[in-house]
Amino acid sequence: MSRDEKTKQSWEVIQTELSQKFGGSEQLDIDAIIYLIGIQELGKGVRNFKKDDKINIMHIAICTLLEPFGYYEFDYYDKEGWPHFKIMDELPNLKSGEQTVLIKEAIVMYFDNKGENG
């Protein structure tokens, strides 16, 4: 089985499991899963967040997901306990589909590293 097929299968397992836990009767899309990862990494539990906070939560997730690829590095927690990252390398110019593949691969790696996949 190729790496791409393994990533695709692992992604589908993660998407199904998270959808069953958090999606009610709906399948979660990639943005919803990124948001859940951001909530997890923020560590403040589920609560109502303002729009700006939701954007920042997504940013936390993206930085966390792309950290193993060398694009970001954790820097510090601010006084409210929000993590901050520094840019280590410029993201390559990727087409939309390529971005999706990279993020799905990063999500699979994230859950593999957390021991929560398969």
Residue-wise pLDDT for 85-102, tens only, equals 999 999 889 898 899 999
Q: Is the pTM of this model over 0.75?
A: yes
Domain ranges, residue 54: 3-114
70: left (phi over 0), alpha (psi -120 to 50) or beta: left
At 116 the pLDDT is 52
Whole-number Å distance between alpha carbons of 77 and 88: 18
Domain count across the chain:
1
Task: Kindly state the helix (H) or strand (E) to which residue 77 belongs, with its residue range.
Answer: strand 72-77
Whole-number Å distance between alpha carbons of 82 and 93: 28
Question: How many other C-beta atoms lie within 10 A of the C-beta of residue 39?
Answer: 20
**What average pLDDT does the segment 103-108 reach?**
96
